[in-house]
Structure 1
Amino acid sequence: MRTPTWIAMLTLLSLAQAQGVDAVKGYLIERVEQQKAATAALVKASQDYFALAQKAGFDYHRLAQTQASPLRQRLQAARAAWVKASPIYESVEGIVAGVESLADFDLNLDAGASAAEGGDAVVTFDLKLEDGRVLRRPGNAFGVLEGTLWGTERAFSSGVRFDVDNDGKLGFGDYLPDAHVLKAGAAKLDELTGELLKAARQWQPTPADVFGALVANVPTAAAVFVERWKTSRFVLGDKATRRDFNVISSLDDLVNNIRSWQALYAGASSLVRAKNPALDRQITEGLSGLKAYAERLVAQEKVRRFSLEQAELIYKEADNRATAVTGKLAQAAALLGLKVGQ
């Protein structure tokens, strides 16, 4: 007995659908595994730094004078690990932040505020330090570590100036971190990354997850990434007062997030293409165009600084592009019978 054509088509469609969204899961797991390797390296460097500080009785002035070379080596290793881990996370943030079962990880890893900042998106963890101090809801783990490693958060710094990058002068980021905060922060980042990896392996993605994440995240291109870039040292220079997003430009973060959006849409593209090839092409080209626009800005930023007025124009352009793509994504979701927020 032959299988009716419509049943065969539905079977093939279901198979393509499963393979597509499973590819999103595979991408997420692969990237978080890479992130875990980087956070493990950060833990090792932070422990080595802590051991030096502990041996000196946490006398950071004496430490800077007597252990300059090993101090620099350990801090540069810690910074290198952070700089590796952060962009990796940004390349999956669009997935993590947009999937309900994973979203709390984004809050605690990269997006959440501190209790002092307040609002509706405060992190859910405290940092317990080995000297008995407890930092209540200190802010997201990547931000805590950036503020610690580059001295942009005074509460996380020893206050002692030190030429970390060995360029012969004391400039941005040239401080010795509080060893207790660095060790605890690195351990928390590594712990959260491990928990995210476990959750990613258990996640069973659906097309609704994919479109829900896309419709929620693509509009953040300007509202989150360009907005925080405008208040960072990449635009304001020494006038910037924020403690995070000063080491890696949020324009770079935007490019990496768009990569996660492209990975998400690739998992559902065949479903849209089967019903409306033109719409599928418009979404694919829209995401590619948004990424190319952000990449041009990143390239320009390497040789110049944008003024605040220019940053405002960039905000409008990015928002227009993201809004157009989001509209197409919502249209595609409706075409597939998926209910997503916008």
Structure 2
Amino acid sequence: MLAAGAALAFALGACGGDDDGSAGATTDAATTATASIDYRSIQAYLFDHTRRLVDHTATLRRDAEAYHALAEAADFDYARLLATRRAEVARAVRALQRDLRTANPSYEEMEGVVAGVPELADYDLIIDAGSDASDPENAVPFSIRTPAGRTYRQPGNFFALVETSVFGTEPRFTVSGVRADLDGDGTVEFGEALPDADFLVATARDFHATARELDAAAHDWEPAPEDVFTAVVVMTPTMSEYFEAWKNSRFIAGGRATESGFVGTSRLSDIADILGGLVLVYDSIEPTIADVDAQQARQTGTSLRQLTRFAERLRDEEAGGRRFTASDADALGGEAQDRAEAIAGQVSQAATQLGVTLQE
């Protein structure tokens, strides 16, 4: 996602100034309106998704443990492991890839809340958005220590670590010196990978532990008006970044992809999932906004739902076999970003009218 501060700065700028000095003033009517926000639907949605992520990362950990046991039985001699138990290795890797694809929407559908709420946003960095140590400003705050005693310092977010290991797109997290010919046909195709079992099992264990921590933090979170307004304002205008990642991924660039991640699930799916969650958040505040400007509240809601359908249509067309080009990604991303910025600006303006202070 975009840095929250950058997205918020844009949205605040889009609102313009307040010449009469009344910005931030809260009327009695606005106070009553914000008190009526339906937090229960947001919390129920969040709790359902944090529990799903806990369950899905538990499955991922179980299958990573099984793969580690296979490798350990061969004394981590992967050439011998393939020679003697190739079919079992292939099944194990396919299971891990399937686990990752299953876990992905459990998080992406709630990312708009997790990443958009300052109290929870650190988990987005750790689970899905953080970089490795080469990007200190956005690097994850953790390291991975493996059963064999190796340490990977600030290696990147958990989804990226697992994905690039089980799909074989990051050499640091896969086995070197052994061809990952899982089906024994003499060639190594995309999706045939030999994850480093020592690294993968440590990552899966920590990922599951972090999912449990997020679940606990979500239940401790006490939502306030500034939380839910900030989530929509910060997370909606992130389209250009997501479309850029899609353009550089295998889904468009194929074998020339410069992006090692986003290979198991298209970024278009992530975009649609995130926007779907934001629609639910907006639905909870739309009646509040309507108390100060009913027409604008309806228009903003319509625009957000239209943007979501736009992303869903692209996702479904790609899944149905349509091949998009880099030029398509640039044009579609520009259109989505323009629409998203307009929505964020409208919600930010409504927050000002209601006396809700957006958080950085």
Give the TM-score normalised by the residue count of structure 1: 0.92
Q: Higher relative contact order by CA 8 Å / sep ≥ 6: 1 or 2?
A: 2
Farther off after superposition, 70-79 or 291-300: 70-79
Distance 1:166 1:104 in 2: 43
Compared with structure 1, are the counterparts of its residues 165 and 255 closer, same or farther at alpha carbon in structure 2 (3 Å cutoff)? Answer: farther
* 1:93 alignment partner in structure 2: 111
Residue type matched to 2:219 in 1? R
Residue type matched to 2:90 in 1? R
* 1:154 alignment partner in structure 2: 171
Structure 1 gap segments, 5+ residues each: 1-5
Aligned partners of 2:268 and 2:315 also within 8 Å: yes
Matched length: 332
Aligned: 1:52 with 2:50 = no
* 2:257 alignment partner in structure 1: 240
The DSSP-based 3-state class of the residue aligned with 1:135 is: strand
Aligned: 1:78 with 2:102 = no
CA shift, 1:331, in A, is: 1.8
- Of the candidates 222, 232, 247, which is equivalent to residue 214 of structure 1? 232
Compared with structure 1, are the counterparts of its residues 166 and 282 closer, same or farther at alpha carbon in structure 2 (3 Å cutoff)? Answer: farther
Aligned: 1:277 with 2:291 = no
Aligned partners of 2:67 and 2:92 also within 8 Å: yes
Aligned partners of 1:76 and 1:164 also within 8 Å: no
Compared with structure 1, are the counterparts of its residues 120 and 328 closer, same or farther at alpha carbon in structure 2 (3 Å cutoff)? Answer: same
CA shift, 1:95, in A, is: 0.7
CA shift, 1:150, in A, is: 0.5
Residue type matched to 2:36 in 1? A
Q: Deviations over 1:293-319 (max 9, x none)?
A: 111111222212211112111121111
Aligned: 1:106 with 2:140 = no
- Of the candidates 87, 100, 104, which is equivalent to residue 69 of structure 1? 87
Superposition misfits of 4+ residues, deviation over 4 angstroms: 9-15, 163-169
Where do 1:120-269 residues align within 5 Å?
Answer: 120-159=137-176, 160-163=178-181, 170-222=188-240, 224-269=241-286
Distance 2:317 2:359 in 1: 35
Residue type matched to 2:294 in 1? P
Distance 1:337 1:304 in 2: 46
Distance 1:34 1:69 in 2: 30
Residue type matched to 1:281 in 2? R
Distance 2:40 2:354 in 1: 18
Compared with structure 1, are the counterparts of its residues 56 and 283 closer, same or farther at alpha carbon in structure 2 (3 Å cutoff)? Answer: same
Aligned: 1:333 with 2:351 = yes
Give the TM-score normalised by the residue count of structure 2: 0.87
Distance 1:276 1:129 in 2: 55
Aligned partners of 2:227 and 2:359 also within 8 Å: no
Distance 2:313 2:56 in 1: 28
Distance 2:110 2:165 in 1: 24
* 2:324 alignment partner in structure 1: 306
Compared with structure 1, are the counterparts of its residues 14 and 226 closer, same or farther at alpha carbon in structure 2 (3 Å cutoff)? Answer: closer
Compared with structure 1, are the counterparts of its residues 184 and 99 closer, same or farther at alpha carbon in structure 2 (3 Å cutoff)? Answer: same
